[in-house]
A and B are shown apart, each in its own frame.
Chain A
Amino acid sequence: MKKVTFILAVLAYFLLGTESFAQQSIWPGSQCVQWTAGDVVPTLNGSAIYNSSASASMRVDCPIERNDFSGFLHTPGIDSAWVSVIDMNYSADARCGLGSLSVSSTGVWTYVTSGSAFSAGASSGSQTLNLGALTFPNDRVHSFIGCIIPPSYAGNVSYLVNYYVNQ
């Protein structure tokens, strides 16, 4: 019995002490910030954001709080993520992708991104853009979701409602 207890204790040490547990979060669109100072400023509505411009796309990055790190038998990364959007533009799609950035000690910038996911058609209902997964190349990268929301179409605005991350 003592042996079994010892083995379980050792296992618990290795598995619980060094692993990070999967963590799921949903963030409101209001977390997202424009790509540059010159970009369209997101307009808030119930902590969702929309593009009030009739001519320019709203380009935003949505932060991901990273809490998954390398551990014993564990490779860190994002297992899945999605963004909820309302695309009201009949001539342009909303699109989003997962990204990560690290700047090395030698000054080299490395961006790793998943493929872009696009909205399909236009409607007043929300659409879920599945962004897939992303493995972190090291324990110093941060990650984010980059989105481009189309301009308004005949007065109807497109939204980034919220986003989900499972890491």
Chain B
Amino acid sequence: MNAMMKAAGLATIGVLVGYGSWYIGKNESPAVTAASTVMHSQPRPSSDTHITAMQPELANLRKMVETLNRESFATQAKPAAGNTAEKADVEQLAAKETPSPELQAQRDEEHRVQQLQTLENRITLESRDQEWSSPNETLLRSGFAQVTEQMSVSEVKCASSLCRVTGNMTEHGNPGEIYRTITEKVQWAGETHLTMDPGTGQVIAYLGRPGIPLVEQEALDLARQGSE
């Protein structure tokens, strides 16, 4: 689908949604308005007050990460100055409604790199939550110690909302077995993002704090927009 058609569709939907909102707002009964006010004024229930207290800081960090990603992606995506032929090729390819397998593979690779960069930025920018970080670093060291036949662990680091474990595959290591062993031995209740490169032997695992999304929807959307 080309950009103009998308823009036209967005504009149409925007107009209809705007009209609908105006109409509903105009016809809303006082009782509904009052109920809505009461609902929104209720404190948000949470079993983990610490996570709730961290939300403003996390929100700021997410914004910073998004800004960094945007800048990073813009730099990577920018074609070389003066190389108009290459730019034309890229535009021609992007204009195709159904991307070729090669273009799709290129986009997927960009998404993957973008996602890793997002996670890396997060763990770099976040402060430590001492009460959570230290015990979970110990837990992960202990869990990953059972994967030694497959990989050697070089660093375990936890921030506030995620941890990162880095290491290298051993000569006996293979991605499937490492994944299976980690799944079975490291009983992690949160999301996991595990990347293994048999070419370089590098293993990077990001483990999200339970209850907090590891891969932000905004980051995925941003990556998609960047490659379209």
Show the binding face of A for B, using Cβ within 8 Å: 7, 10-11, 13-14, 18, 35-36, 57, 59, 70, 72, 75, 95, 97, 99, 102, 104-116, 135, 137-140, 146, 148
Contact = CB atoms under 8 A, between A and B. Distances in A.
A72 B9 contact: yes
B105 interface: yes
Given A70-B224, A108-B112, A115-B210, A10 B8 contact: yes
The B interface, classified by DSSP as helix, strand, loop or mixed, is helix
B93 interface: no
Given A11-B12, A72-B1, A140-B108, A116 B188 contact: yes
Interface stretch (B20-28, B64-72, B120-128, B214-222): B214-222
Interface size class of B (residues with CB under 8 A): 35 or more
Nearest to A110: B195
B45 interface: no
A137 B183 contact: no
Contacts of A13: 9
* Most A C-beta atoms less than 10 A away, residue of B8, B107, B184, B208: B184
A140 B184 contact: no
A138 B210 contact: no
B220 A109 contact: no
B43 interface: no
B215 A11 contact: no
